Amino acid sequence: MSVTHTGVTAGPAALEPCGQQDHPDCGIRDVLDRVGDKWSVLVIVELASGPRRFRQLQRAVEGISQRMLTLTVRRLERDGLVLRTVYPTVPAQVDYRLTGTGASLTHLVKALADWSLEHRAHIARARETYDSEHPDNEIR
């Protein structure tokens, strides 16, 4: 048995390295990974209502651990979506708020949250149907 074709076929956009000007994927995946992850979306939704202290965020975002919240707000801060302010009190107080860029994202995140809420029952039924028709599937 001989291998006759081992190359990978790619479209023209894939031939350009991402560093090239006008490449369609430059930075998009990186940004979508951040703003599309579960915890970032929930933190942004919570901060859309105004500044929150760390514990307020932790209580508001059900299921998030202290470590995951710390990582999430640091990443959002690094990306310029969240501003962390430390107040010179004893003990020091810290709050988090959306930057202008973060605030400009809230209508999109809210639309996604609203869509999720509106369609969750349909999705749950579709999953039940799929799971009953494919009992050995490991997608769950």
Task: Write out pLDDT tens, residues 55-74.
Answer: 999 999 999 999 999 999 99
| Residue spans per domain, the chain | 23-133
C-alpha dihedral, 47 to 52 to 58 to 59, nearest 10°: -100
What is the pLDDT, as a whole number, of residue 135? 85
Average pLDDT over residues 33-53: 90
What is the pLDDT, as a whole number, of residue 20? 60
Q: How confident is the model at residue 29 (pLDDT cuts 50, 70, 90)?
A: confident
What is the pLDDT, as a whole number, of residue 38? 87
What is the pLDDT, as a whole number, of residue 113? 82
Average pLDDT over residues 128-138: 87
Distance CA 59, CA 3 (A): 58
CATH class of segment(s) 23-133: mainly alpha
